[in-house]
């Protein structure tokens, strides 16, 4: 049916009168090939370039607000001491 057949020449007579063959029938090798094809297809999808969320929404006519500025590793109080606004609207850290 749907199987791979492998024939190996194991030994042969120098005069050509006889030969020893080993025949292997591997019925599930096609599933291995199918699995490899699925992996390659998935890798192609994963590596396909995507639009960013903001670009996709802008193309749809949706206004996108800029994300908040990340805090300094020192915290909001250290930023406020140097004249920057606190990211927390309550003023607490």
Q: pLDDT (tens digit, 9 = 90+) per residue, 41-83? A: 999 999 988 766 656 666 666 666 676 666 666 565 665 665 6
pTM tops 0.75, yes or no: no
The pLDDT tens digits of the residues spanning 8-52 come to 999 998 888 899 999 999 888 888 999 999 999 999 999 988 766
Q: 2 vs 5, 25, 48, 54, CA distance in Å?
A: 10, 10, 34, 49
71 token code pair? 């805090």
Nearest to 63 by CA among 71, 72, 54: 54
Q: What is the pLDDT of residue 45?
A: 92
């Amino acid at each position: 049916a749907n199987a791979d057949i492998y024939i190996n020449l194991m030994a042969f007579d120098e005069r050509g009168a006889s030969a020893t063959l080993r025949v292997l029938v591997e019925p599930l090798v096609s599933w291995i090939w199918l699995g490899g094809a699925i992996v390659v297809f998935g890798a192609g999808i994963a590596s396909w370039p995507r639009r960013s969320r903001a670009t996709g929404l802008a193309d749809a006519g949706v206004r996108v607000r800029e994300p908040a500025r990340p805090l300094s590793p020192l915290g909001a109080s250290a930023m406020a001491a140097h004249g920057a606004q606190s990211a927390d609207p309550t003023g607490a850290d």
